Amino acid sequence: MANADCIIIQGSNMAECHPVGFQWVSEAKARGARIIHVDPRFTRTTAIADKHVPIRAGSDIVLLGALINRVLTEGRYFDEYVRAYTNAANLISDDYVDTEDLDGLFSGFDPDTNSYENSTWSYQTDEHGAPLKDPSLKDPKSVFQILRHHYSRYTPEMVEENCGIKPADFDYLYESVTENSGRERTTCFAYAVGWTQHSLGAQFIRTASILQLLLGNMGRPGGGIMALRGHATIQGSTDIPTLFNLLPGYLPMPSAGVHDTFDDYVAAVGTPETHKGYWANGRAYATSLLKAWWGDAATQDNDFAFDYLPRINGAHGTYQTAVRMLNDGVDGYFLLGQNPAVGSANGRMQRMAMSHLKWMVVRDFSLIESATWWKDGPEIETGELKTEDIDTEMFFLPAANHTEKAGTFTQTQRLVQWRHKAVNPPGDAQSELDFFYELGQAVREKLKDSDDPRDRPLLDMTWDYPVDEEGEVDAEAVVKEINGYFIGGDRDGEPLDNFNQMTDDGTTAGGCWIYAGVYAGGQNMAARRKPRDEQDETAAEWAWAWPANRRILYNRASAAPDGTPWSERKKFVWWDDETGKWTGKDVPDFPIDRAPAARSDAAYGGPANLDGDDPFIMQADGKGWLFAPSGMIDGPIPTHYEPQESTVANPLYSQQNSPTRMVMRREDNLSAPGAGVPGSEVFPYVFTTYRLTEHHTAGGMSRWLPYLSELQPEMFCEISPELAAEVGLEPYGWATLVSPRAAIEARVLVTKRMTPLTIGGKTVHQIGLPYHWGVGGQGAVVEGDSANDLLGVTMDPNVYIQNSKYVAGTIMPGRRPRGPELVDFVEKYQREAGLSPESGNQQVTVPAEDVEASHHAGQGRSAGGHAHRGGDSAVGVTPGKTLDGGRDGASDGDGTTASATVDSADDRSGRITIEPTEATEPAETAVSNRADDGDPSDGDPDHGRHADGSAIAETEVAEAEARARAARDRQENEEEDD
């Protein structure tokens, strides 16, 4: 990143959220890079940027699309790069119809399921399955032309109209980006939750990827798209996930009716028949995982105990689970260092859900709000809940902190870093490792005499971890299992060196294939701590990066197709003719001896068949995807839809919101009606939530600390002077903020850092809300109302991340009502706006004939999946998201089309049929009823499809950053030399 010539920070407040990471931006700036911050607010990031471009929250695709449009029309794209490394020349199915022609729908929309059947998005292929291309890029069905057509109406005028960005600012942005791209220069994008926390989150990132591919900024020093993540090991917790849809190493959880057999499953993961890249060895990865978990019980005969794995059949994310809780469908809940009572959208719904549990285990450092909601939560105050009526059993178990246990965190650049244990945990505090180990022991002990086959997976599980003298599990033993080891043979028990050693015959075990090598040679590679000034700029001996300690992904693209560097200035990895190898400043992320000119006849067949100019080696076809034939639920090309609750009409299409977004139609999750609909005027302003440097998420690790609390002691909202004048708010006085779900109070910070925007001739006021405070909890130094209570739950269909950057609401001076009056107060607004569960939740708003046309287009090809599939993240670059199904015949034809994505196959059927509480409760109880009335099906999102992309938003591209590390060391050394 420090190598970039221009850095666009959009949807991220990097300086505030990642101050230490921001040093590389500072460094780039010091070297003359231009920093542009595109954000609704003027933040601390903006303060040292060269330029602030205020933007209306949620309109990012319009801006980026307009940049793409202009890059294409003015021919400022990096022609050679685009031709060689992207799928620009590929021809797309004749049946494909663009949103431009269907008023906001792509072809293949199924109005019954509100989802796409994506066969029409696939490549045209020849009889061997090899994709057809048009090198001239002229064919109207070529990706390049489709792109041009798609973005042709994304103009500077549109940007001004919809984003509120002045034409001059747009020009500045455009010039900055294009002038700083090409052979000699690179531009980098950085984003964070400002993009992901939208109902279009994944598509935001896709749009930037397309722009970056067009400009040739992917896989090159100082280029790329950098994800900035908020938690110590948020990367690790998707690599080795506690996520419902993933197993370690981005292997999917098997889906009922889709992965009924191991072969089905492996076919979906990746086989040599479907892949060029490393996913071709999917069977070995899956087998090794099963061996690691079930040891001797996993044999060739029982498909390595594949049947021990439970099946999913829909979305089982946290918000869906909350709904199930409200329906009494869940007994027990473990909270591990999480505080959903404050940190999750629609906090009230979360707390009400907890009150329906039979028991709940909270593991944390202090008594957070989620541990004490039953005695001092906001609903106790309003009388919606009464402590003496709550049946939930609560367990609070003190957790060990990061100094009291050994283990690894995986940071945002995939670097796995070991932490040594410093001290013993105090009192009864223990690590999660010990807790789960002991819980597993206890459960197994109680079941040991069971002959119930359902208990076999628990009893057969390998669970014999060594403990030290203090009775604590040796984390290194777990690392070894994650790394993998040989079974049998002369290296029996020895750790694997890399994932290429994994086999599909049960002779290796490995808990997470991408981590293979972290314990190579019996050495804990993550614990390596060679000081940075004792090694080269890549710092390869500091900890360990997956995969295979490769710090930078796809760096093949930093050289021209012929293997020479694009330019001296941006030299990074290149082909050395003399040795016949790739070489450079980093470990080449490419088969080391695959010559640039090498060509393979086969379209697939694993890494051995990569062409010499297929830099994106984890993509099924080795190319960067301008157009995503698969992998995205909501469209192959990003399209602008208005956010849920937007008060602005979509200027491009009749389709107001994303037709595939996941909504929850519930009385306790009401939405504002949306632009133009009566009632929307009740909630005229836009709330957008964010973080502050001084606090950490829901505050569990900051509001209990005086040093941090004093720096940002009180919940506040940021508003413009104009809005303050309009509403009559006094600086540093109180304001009450009301959304369709809740009302909170906050202090008022009137600041010019908030700019009213003119959108479609109307002034749009945005209100910034930090979300770190909560009510209740014990021992917190500071408390305040939680901004997340205002949020509704509407999700990105790809990754199920909720939209918290755009909430409609209103603001008024003074404090909010207390007690039961608060409920009445909110209801008054809801009545006034005439809200119902249907409000704002209309999925499709285009004319019926367009829907029909779209649906029809899809059905035309319902027979097959795409010829070209597998592949991974449409977003582009990260390995790991290859779950897209689309196997031939994989679908069991349950009503959705055969080539639907794997998990969507069952989405409706699996959704509610197993709900324990079928009965619809009559809506008779006035208040508490709101949480759980209505049909249970109302609660579930309208399409609970499971997508492969869970990690898309969170495991984004990091290569630029890693590369920056190298450069920064160089810089550092220079500085020290001075």
Partner 1 sequence: MARFSFLEWPVLRQLRTSDKTGRGESVVSQQTRDTTPRTVTADKVVQSVCPYCAVGCGQKIFVKDDKVVQIEGDPDSPISRGRLCPKGAASEQLVNAPGRVTDVLYRAPKAKDWTKIDLPTAIDMIADRFIEARRNHWEDFDDKGHPLRRTMGIASLGGATIDNEENYLAKKLYTAAGAIQIENQARI
Partner 2 sequence: MSTPTIDDGTLADGHWHDSAHNRKGFFTDTSICIGCKACEVACKEWNRNPQDGTFELLGSSYDNTGSLGANTWRHVAFIEQDSERIEKARESGRKLVNLGMPTIRPRTDESAAAQPLDGALGAAAEGRTSAGLPTTPDLNVDLLAPGALEPTDLSNVDTTPPDTADFRWLMSSDVCKHCTHAGCLDVCPTGALFRTEFDTVVVQNDVCNGCGTCVAGCPFGVIERRDDGTINTPTDRDDRKAADMDVPNAGTANKCTLCYDRLVEGQEPACAQTCPTQSIKFGDREDMVDQAHDRVAELHAKGLTEARLYGANPNDGVGGTGSVFLLLDEPEVYGLPPDPRVATKDLPKMYANAGIAALGMVAAAGLAFLGSRRS
Partner 3 sequence: MSTSEYDSYRPPEPEGGRRKRRRGGRGGPSGPDGSGGRRGGRGGNGRGGGWKNRGADGNREMPMVEDVEFTSYYGRPIVKAPPWGDEIGAYLFLGGLAGGSSLLGFGAQLTDRPGLRIASRMTAIAATGIGGAALVADLGRPERFLNMMRVVKVSSPMSLGTWILSGFGVGSGVTFAIELDRITGEKLLPLGPLRKVLHAMETPAAVESAFFATPLAAYTAVLLGATAVPTWNAAGRNGLPYVFVSSASMAAGGAAMALAPVTETGPARLFALTGTAGEAYAMSAMRKRMHPAEVDPMDDGEPGHKLHRAEKLLIAGAVGAAVVEVGARVFAKKLGGRSSGGSASASDVAGAVAEAVGSAGSAGVAKRSWKTRAVLRGLSVVSGAALAAASAYTRFGVLEAGIESTKDPRHVVEPQRARLEERRACGITDDSITTGR
Residues that bind partner 3 (CB under 8 A): 721, 724-725, 729-733, 750, 752
The residue among 18 and 206 lying less far from partner 2, judged by its C-beta, is 18
Residue range at the interface with partner 1 (CB under 8 A); choices 54-62, 822-830, 846-854, 968-976: 968-976
Matching residue, tokens 């087998």: 287
| Binding residue for partner 1, selected from 32, 451, 469, 707, defined by CB under 8 A | 707
957 lines the binding site for partner 1 (CB under 8 A):
no
Contacts of 193 by beta carbon, 8 Å cutoff, 6+ apart? 11, 12, 230, 804, 805
Tell which one of 132, 137, 394, 595 touches partner 1 (CB under 8 A): 394
Find the part of the chain contacting partner 1 (CB under 8 A) among 202-210, 253-261, 610-618, 717-725.
Answer: 253-261
Examine residue 26 and tell whether it contacts partner 1 (CB under 8 A): no
Pick between residue 782 and residue 952 the one whose CB is nearest to partner 2.
782
| Nearest distance, CB of residue 730 and partner 3, angstroms | 5
Q: Is 611 in the site for partner 1 (CB under 8 A)?
A: no
Cβ proximity to partner 2: between 44 and 772 the closer is: 44
Q: Considering the complex, state which of residue 34 and residue 324 has its C-beta at the smaller distance from partner 1.
A: 324
Q: DSSP assignment of 414-431, as one string?
A: SEEEEE---SPPPTT-B-
Q: Which does 721 bind (CB under 5 to 8 A by kind): partner 1, partner 2, partner 3, none?
A: partner 3
The answer to whether 392 contacts partner 1 (rule: CB under 8 A) is yes
Residues ≥6 apart with Cβ < 8 Å to 249: 239, 240, 285, 289, 512, 513, 514, 515, 880
Please give the span between the terminal C-alpha atoms of the chain, in angstroms, as a whole number: 23
Residue of 307, 381, 497, 681 interacting with partner 1 (CB under 8 A): 307
Query: In whole angstroms, what is the distance from residue 330 CA to residue 254 CA?
Result: 21
Question: Which lies closer to partner 3 via its Cβ, residue 553 or residue 748?
Answer: 748
Amino acid (1-letter code) at residue 43: T
Nearest distance, CB of residue 41 and partner 3, angstroms: 17
Rounded Cα distance between 978 and 972, Å, is 10
- Chain residues binding partner 2 by CB under 8 A are 15-16, 19-20, 22-23, 26, 29-30, 42, 44-48, 50-52, 172, 692-694, 706-714, 716, 731-732, 747, 749, 751-753, 781-782
Give the nearest distance from C-beta 91 to partner 2 in angstroms. 44
Q: For the purposes of burial, counting CB atoms within 10 Å of the CB of 111, is it exposed (0-12), middle (13-18) or buried (19 or more)?
A: middle
Nearer to partner 2, 21 or 910 (CB): 21
Is residue 40 within 8 A of residue 57, CB to CB? The reply is: yes
> 729 touches which of partner 1, partner 2, partner 3, none (CB within 5 to 8 A by kind)?
partner 3
Choose one: 166-174, 409-417, 606-614, 727-735; the region binding partner 1 (CB under 8 A): 409-417
Residue with tokens 């747009």: 170
Judged by beta carbon, residue 381 or residue 694, the one nearer partner 2 is: 694
Q: Examine residue 917 and tell whether it contacts partner 1 (CB under 8 A).
A: no
Q: How far apart are alpha carbons 883 and 389 in whole angstroms? A: 45
Select from 138, 402, 599, 818 the one that contacts partner 1 (CB under 8 A).
Answer: 402
146 C-beta neighbours (distance < 10 Å), count: 23
Cβ at position 124, least distance to partner 1 in Å: 34
Distances (CA, A) of 410 to 8, 415, 496: 25, 5, 20
Report yes or no: 764 and 756 within 8 Å, Cβ to Cβ: yes
Specify the residue, 456 or 581, whose C-beta has the smaller distance to partner 1: 456
**CA separation (Å) from 322 to 4, 327, 352, 803, 873?**
43, 9, 9, 17, 28
CA 977, CA 955: separation in Å to the nearest integer? 36
Nearer to partner 3, 676 or 731 (CB): 731
Under the binding rule (CB under 8 A), the answer on residue 332 touching partner 1 is yes
- Give CA–CA dist 696/230, Å, rounded: 9
Q: Tell me, what DSSP letter sits at residue 88?
A: T
Q: Would you count residue 375 as binding partner 1 (CB under 8 A)?
A: yes
Residue 780 is a binding residue for partner 1 (CB under 8 A): yes
Residue range at the interface with partner 1 (CB under 8 A); choices 58-66, 137-145, 332-340, 923-931: 332-340
Residue 592's Cα: distance from chain center in Å?
Answer: 31
- Minimum CB distance to partner 2, residue 693 (Å): 5
CB 906 within 8 A of CB 257: yes
Q: Is position 293 an interface residue for partner 1 (rule: CB under 8 A)?
A: yes
| Token pair for 540 | 């390869």
Query: Among partner 1, partner 2, partner 3, none, what binds residue 642 when CB lies within 5 to 8 Å by partner kind?
Result: none
Q: Is 466 a residue that touches partner 1 (CB under 8 A)?
A: no
> How many C-beta atoms surround the C-beta of residue 522 within 10 A?
12
Q: Judged by CB under 8 A, does residue 581 bind partner 1?
A: no
Q: How far is the CB of 381 from partner 1 (least distance, A)?
A: 15
Q: Which two tokens stand for residue 38?
A: 């595109």
Pattern 785-814, partner 1, x by CB under 8 A: --------------xxxx------------
CB of 81 to partner 1, least distance (A): 29
Q: What are 841's two structure tokens?
A: 């939740």
333 binds, among partner 2, partner 1, partner 3, none (CB under 5 to 8 A by kind): partner 1
Task: Give backbone dihedrals phi and psi of 943, rounded to 5 degrees, phi first.
Answer: -140, 115
Three-state secondary structure call for residue 663:
strand
Nearer to partner 1, 697 or 763 (CB): 697
3-state helix, strand, coil in the chain (%, to 5): 30, 15, 55
Q: Which does 393 bind (CB under 5 to 8 A by kind): partner 2, partner 3, partner 1, none?
A: partner 1
Closest separation between CB of residue 376 and partner 2, Å?
A: 17
401: alpha, beta or left? (left if phi > 0; alpha if psi -120 to 50): beta
Binding string, 862-901, against partner 1, x = CB under 8 A?
Answer: ------------------------------x-x-------
Residue 913 touches partner 1, criterion: CB under 8 A: yes
Q: Distance between CA 123 and CA 126 in Å, rounded? A: 10
Considering the complex, state which of residue 359 and residue 732 has its C-beta at the smaller distance from partner 3: 732
- Report the nearest approach of partner 1 to the CB of residue 190 (Å): 12
* Integer angstrom CA distances of residue 426 from 46, 559, 798, 902: 42, 54, 42, 47
Can you give the C-alpha Rg of the chain in angstroms? 27
Alpha carbons 627 and 122: distance in angstroms, whole number: 9
CB 44, min distance to partner 3, A:
16
Closest distance to partner 3 from the beta carbon of 765 (Å): 15
- Closest separation between CB of residue 334 and partner 1, Å? 4
# of chain residues touching partner 1 (CB under 8 A): 174
DSSP line for 155-222: -HHHHHHHH---HHHHHHHHHHHHHT-SSS--EEEEE-HHHHSSTTHHHHHHHHHHHHHHTT-TTSTT
What is the nearest approach in angstroms of partner 3 to the Cβ of residue 690? 22
Which residue number, 716 or 829, has a Cβ lying nearer to partner 3? Answer: 716
Taking the complex as a whole, the smallest distance from the CB of residue 745 to partner 3 amounts, in Å, to 12
Give the tokens for residue 237. Answer: 């917790």
Per-residue contact string for residues 418-457; x = within reach of partner 1 by CB under 8 A: -xxxxxxxxxxxxxxx-xxxxxx-xx-xxx------x--x
Omega prior to 547 cis, within 30 of 0 = yes
Q: How far is the CB of 51 from partner 2 (least distance, A)?
A: 6
